[in-house]
Structure 1
């Protein structure tokens, strides 16, 4: 049901932000946020909920960027260099990465490739469509389906 709003929301955010790739990233993050939602209460107005989530992400991003502008470069450099964390955190992250790789391996090739080209190589939907020889609409569906699948599988494996 939420997939129906994907293009509409990307167009809306693109008009606001003036950058289609950033708009697509925000929409992807909004979908992930909605899919990760822990509440069992059904969303009464999915379109409004998705828009609100996306706009909140845009606002949060602007706030973060505004705060970062005032931080000295040394602080930013230090933060990035020393964020590795404990050995346990590294182990947990490694396990989660393995689970993600397993979940992606379960997907059909075009779905997995669309997701990987977007998330790892940063290609636009149009570039992915051209590279894979499929429609942009299908690329969008593949990416959303890959995110859903990975979320469901990761949740299932996390419980056990």
Structure 2
């Protein structure tokens, strides 16, 4: 259902932001947010919900960037020690990374490759399509399906713990 709005939302954000790569990243993050939502209540207006989520992400990013510009680099350097992960957090992070890798291994090759080329290598959808010899629309579907699959599997594995 939500996949139907992907291109439309990318075009909308591209017009607002003037950068297609950033627009695609925001849309991916918006899809993740929607897929990760913990409420069991169905979304009555999925298109409006997705747009609002994406716009909120843009606003949040804008606010963060404004705050970063106001803070001195000395303050950020001094605060870095507070953000170093503890050994427990590092272990949890590496375990979660292993689970994501397991989930990705379950996907068909083109789906997995589309996702990795986008998220790890930072290629655009057009570049991925050219490299894999598939359409851009199929790349978009593969990426969304990979995100859904990973989210579902992570929830399943988290429920077992």
Q: 1:12 to 1:101 in 2, by over 3 A?
A: same
What pairs up with 1:43-54 in 2 under 5 angstroms? 43-54=43-54
Pair 1:129–1:78, CA change in 2 (3 A):
farther
Pair 1:73-2:73 in alignment: yes
TM-score normalized by the length of structure 2:
0.96
Structure 1 residue 85 displacement after superposition: 1.6
CA separation in 1, counterparts of 2:109 and 2:120? 15
Give the structure 2 partner of residue 138 of structure 1: 138
Distance 2:84 2:90 in 1: 7
Report the equivalent of 2:35: 35
Structure 2 unaligned residues grouped into runs of 5+: none
Q: How does 1:97-116 map to 2 (within 5 A)?
A: 97-116=97-116
Q: Hey, what does 1:62 align to over in structure 2?
A: 62
**CA-atom RMSD, angstroms?**
1.2
Shift of 1:128: 0.5
- Comparing 75-84 with 102-111, greater Cα deviation is found at 75-84
Normalised by the length of structure 1, the TM-score is 0.96
Cα offset for 1:6? 0.1
**Distance 1:143-1:81 versus aligned 2 partners, 3 A rule:** farther
* Paired position in structure 1 for 2:23: 23
CA distance in 1, matches of 2:47, 2:8: 10
Displacement after TM superposition at 1:79 (Å): 4.7
Cα distance in 2 for partners of 1:122, 1:73 equals 27
Distance 1:17 1:57 in 2: 12
Give the distance between the partners of 1:81 and 1:122, measured in 2 at CA.
Answer: 29
The CA deviation string for residues 19-48 of structure 1, in whole angstroms up to 9 with x for no partner, is 000000000000000000100110000000
Question: Unaligned regions of 5+ residues in structure 1, if any?
Answer: none
